[in-house]
Amino acid sequence: MKDIAVIGVGYVGLVTATCFADLGNHVIAMDVAEDKIDKLLQGIMPIYEPGLAEVVKRNVDAGRLHFTTSYTDTIKNARFVFICVGTPSGVDGEADLQYVRQAAETIARIMDHPLIIINKSTVPVGTGDWVADIIRKHQPRPIDFSVVSCPEFLREGSALQDFMNPDRTVLGSLDHEAADEVAQLHLPLRAPIVVTDLRTAEMIKYASNAFLATKISFINEIANICEALGADVKEVAAGMGLDKRIGKMFLDSGIGYGGSCFPKDVLALHHMAIEQEQQPQLLEAVMSINLSRRHQVIAKLRDLLGDDLRGKTIGLLGLAFKPNTDDMRDAPAITIAGLLVEAGATVKGYDPVAMDVARQVMPPATLCTLCKTPYEVCEGCDAVVIVTEWNEFKQLDMLRIKASMRQPIIVDGRNIYDPVMMREMGFVYRGFGRGYSGDIHLDGV
């Protein structure tokens, strides 16, 4: 059993603390936000993640997992300190490191024994060296410490599975002995461990997320071409994905990516490149294509309902940026609802788990009504947009929905329905890249 401290009980911190406790370690997790800690002490999760509440309770009851607002209590007996605080986007797209700085300064001032300090937050390349400098500067007296980068690769909605069954663990440090100690923590996960220097480990995280975002934007560009030529992008993606060099993951076309990772990390990598006088043309294209997907929803609605959307009622099914989470950060639904309201439309919305969060970030209730069921959303609508691919929406009584709508128009932003079946039921159906183009003109044919 190792003594582990986790600073920050947001998404990454809470999952990291809980899973290390479940592996048999003694873990204390802290946060300066008293409301978060109060909720956790009452057994209330500050985030939605399938299965997390049960695992937290199991480890709290076993005495392996504790929560506090005290830095001193957190690191008093710790050998390993994981920094898992937020790194939101700054004004110019750079990662805002104020919370990392606060954590590093506080750790430096109160540490009284050697520590291995592990950056788990997604941080710009060079942050490990910067954290080490901060700690040396703010120590009242010199105490040995090491800094290790251990970037997270957790997907919201499957974070427990991702932590316990990782594809790899990436570690970066200038101290090989410290890196080896952190590697020992991860050995029970039985996954490949990549050990490198600090900056390379930090870059692996950004490069990985940027590549996955690129796959999404690539297939969305292919979807545009499929739509123009009458091909079906889902079949194209399936055929591509069978090639082991390509793989099937992240080849689902639709509205595009959102959330707390891809948008922020691609933008931050772009910012780092610009600062080094590089020309990140591919990253710029990835971001541009992704943003355009949200506007294409409005274009499809105008094509079906007419250019003037004033007085039209549009339903949004799904508000979180992806299924199995209540995360609304950079969710496409926010942009789409805003564009609809700006165009004079009335908006209705529903999400299985994100309603409380949505009320804080969606347009005001006078402009956007949040409903209790998907059927309530669809009632009286001129069109319904599938924004998030919740399994619940795949099992809806579509004939009941059709009967309740003013006009039976579905814009399927996640391509979850079969176009032929939808049209046979009497819907006017539009997916993304599903091969329903009109006249096709090929030069030379």
Kindly state the average pLDDT of the residues 281-290. Answer: 98
Residue 90's pLDDT is what?
87
* pTM > 0.95: no
Q: Which are the catalytic amino acids?
A: 261
| Contact status, residue 57 vs residue 32, Cβ threshold 8 Å | no
Structural domain boundaries in the chain:
3-196, 210-430
- Beta bridge partners, 428, equal 409
Kindly state the average pLDDT of the residues 293-303. Answer: 97
Residues 373, 374, 380, CA angle at the centre, nearest 5°? 105
Confidence of residue 166 (pLDDT cuts 50, 70, 90): very high
Residue 366's pLDDT is what?
87
Kindly state the average pLDDT of the residues 131-137. Answer: 97
The CATH number of 3-196 is 3.40.50.720
Residue 442's pLDDT is what?
47
Kindly state the average pLDDT of the residues 326-354. Answer: 97
Residue 435's pLDDT is what?
80
* pLDDT surpassing 60 at residue 113: yes
Confidence of residue 92 (pLDDT cuts 50, 70, 90): confident
Confidence of residue 436 (pLDDT cuts 50, 70, 90): low
| Contact status, residue 145 vs residue 117, Cβ threshold 8 Å | yes
Residue 444's pLDDT is what?
45
Kindly state the average pLDDT of the residues 397-425. Answer: 97
Superfamily, domain 210-430: NAD(P)-binding Rossmann-like Domain (3.40.50.720)
Kindly state the average pLDDT of the residues 326-347. Answer: 97
Strand order in the sheet with 65-68: 65-68, 26-30, 3-7, 80-83, 115-119, 145-149, 169-172, 193-196
% of residues, the chain, pLDDT over 70: 98
Answer whether 3-196 and 210-430 agree in fold. yes
